[in-house]
Chain A
Amino acid sequence: MTTNPYIYIFVAAIVSTVIRVLPVTVFRKPIKNRFIRSFLYYVPYVTLAVMTFPAIIHATQSKISGILALVVGSVAAWFNLSLFKVACICCGVVFIVELVLC
């Protein structure tokens, strides 16, 4: 493969900067269209869910530790633990499970 990582980074940077900057500089009124509002509202949850599973069970050395991290992490996040704590809990679960299993 002769792909250049920097081109990917700059393509992503241009798109994400436009997304971030455009509304602040252009929109002075709230978006009224109900479909667009609803779509934009659902997008982050769906995307993050799709990217989390099944990727989480392939990221770890054993599938079972990934599944347990998903379950325990979901419960921790459900109870509004901070981003940092949930991330640490997931790591801890994987570490302990693999310490026992492997």
Chain B
Amino acid sequence: MNFNIEKYTKKAFLSGAVDGFPIGLGYFAVSFSLGIFAKQVGCGAIAGIINSFLNHASAGEYAVYSMIGIGASYIEMAVMTLIVNARYLLMSTALSQRIHPDTPMIHRIGIGFHVTDELFAISLNRPGYINPIYCYGAFLVAVIGWCTGTATGIIAGGILPGRLVSALSVALYGMFLACIMPEARRHKLVGVLIIISFVLSYIANEAAIFAKVSSGTKTIILTVVIASLAAIIFPHPEVEDDD
């Protein structure tokens, strides 16, 4: 196999920026809905932008705002972030196999920091070693979409009519569905797990006995229990190095 080491050029940066553009547009729409939620729990536009830049993960940011909303402890916040972003451990591990051994530490950190579901996908899709400059180009454009979307949601969410806010607030859940359903189609077991998760989550939220447990803790407990049982009973069959 002939791996070409791509140079750290302006061209690589631009190529990343171009590929990142549609992703940035999608992020704008989704983070607008995050912004509406952020506003409800009392976060301003600056907090939203900082959160979007540092965390740049829909589920992760959603977790931040729900934790602020329910006044959870910082420990809960940390555990919740670990749970909802655990998939990045896998993605980062996958990327680590494709980084040139001579890549300086600073660029390794950069590649790790840029990871989101979509950016990971486009960076891994390129042939050869991962070029950090390409990653930065894609990240820059995508994160601009993310930050401006969040800020717009926080600022404009409040002046939009209730009916429009109601409609836009489901964008986030639409995005979650778009992340999980294709895999459910490929692996029936994932589909079954999703339905089990829906049912148990519904019971945990509606049953009076669980009323005192915070919703963040419920999410953590349900995730760990369901995913552990699934991993014990149905170990994932193939080594999944998605191509």
Tell me, rounded to whole Å, the shortest Cβ–Cβ distance linking A7 to chain B: 6
B156 touches A (CB below 8 Å):
no
Q: Which residues of B contact A37 (CB under 8 A)?
A: 235-236, 239
Q: Is the interface of B mostly helix, strand, loop or mixed?
A: helix
User: Which B94-115 residues have a C-beta within 8 angstroms of A?
Assistant: 95-97, 99, 105, 108-109, 111-113, 115
Q: Do A48 and B176 have beta carbons less than 8 Å apart? A: yes
Tell me, rounded to whole Å, the shortest Cβ–Cβ distance linking A67 to chain B: 11
With A88-B174, A102-B163 known as contacts, the answer to whether A35 contacts B50 (CB < 8 A) is: no
Q: Do B235 and A44 have beta carbons less than 8 Å apart? A: no
Q: Do A86 and B175 have beta carbons less than 8 Å apart? A: yes
Find the residue from A12, A37, A43, A76 having the highest chain B CB count within 10 A. A12
Contact with B along A49-80 (1 / 0, CB 8 A): 11111111001110001100110011011101
Q: How far is B33's CA from A88's CA once the two chains are assembled, in angstroms?
A: 11
Q: Which residues of B contact A19 (CB under 8 A)?
A: 81-82, 85-86, 88-89, 92
Q: How far is B167's CA from A98's CA once the two chains are assembled, in angstroms?
A: 8
Which stretch in B1-9, B10-18, B52-60 binds the other chain? B52-60
Q: How far is B33's CA from A90's CA once the two chains are assembled, in angstroms?
A: 12
Q: Do B63 and A82 have beta carbons less than 8 Å apart? A: no
User: Which A18-46 residues have a C-beta within 8 angstroms of B?
Assistant: 19-25, 27-28, 30-31, 34-35, 37-46
Q: Do A84 and B227 have beta carbons less than 8 Å apart? A: no
Q: Do A12 and B108 have beta carbons less than 8 Å apart? A: no
- Specify which of B54, B59, B96, B177 is in contact with A90 (CB 8 Å cutoff): B177
Tell me, rounded to whole Å, the shortest Cβ–Cβ distance linking B54 to chain A: 4
Q: How far is B180's CA from A25's CA once the two chains are assembled, in angstroms?
A: 28
Q: Do B30 and A87 have beta carbons less than 8 Å apart? A: yes
Q: Do B219 and A51 have beta carbons less than 8 Å apart? A: yes
Q: How far is B223's CA from A84's CA once the two chains are assembled, in angstroms?
A: 26
Q: Do A16 and B60 have beta carbons less than 8 Å apart? A: yes
Q: How far is B111's CA from A88's CA once the two chains are assembled, in angstroms?
A: 30
Q: Which residues of B contact A65 (CB under 8 A)?
A: 166
Q: Do B177 and A44 have beta carbons less than 8 Å apart? A: no
Q: Do A12 and B177 have beta carbons less than 8 Å apart? A: no
Q: Do A9 and B170 have beta carbons less than 8 Å apart? A: no
Q: Do B193 and A92 have beta carbons less than 8 Å apart? A: no
| Interchain residue pairs with CB less than 8 A apart (5) | A5-B42, A8-B77, A25-B112, A59-B169, A78-B185
- Other than the given A49-B193, A76-B177, 16 more pairs (CB < 8 A) read A8-B64, A9-B55, A11-B78, A27-B93, A37-B236, A41-B236, A43-B227, A46-B223, A46-B230, A70-B173, A78-B184, A85-B178, A86-B177, A87-B175, A88-B174, A90-B170
B contacts, CB < 8 Å to A: 22, 25-26, 29-30, 33, 41-43, 47, 50-51, 54-55, 57, 59-64, 67-68, 71, 74, 77-78, 81-90, 92-93, 95-97, 99, 105, 108-109, 111-113, 115, 118, 162-164, 166-185, 190, 193-194, 197-198, 200-202, 205-206, 218-219, 222-223, 226-228, 230-232, 234-236, 239-241
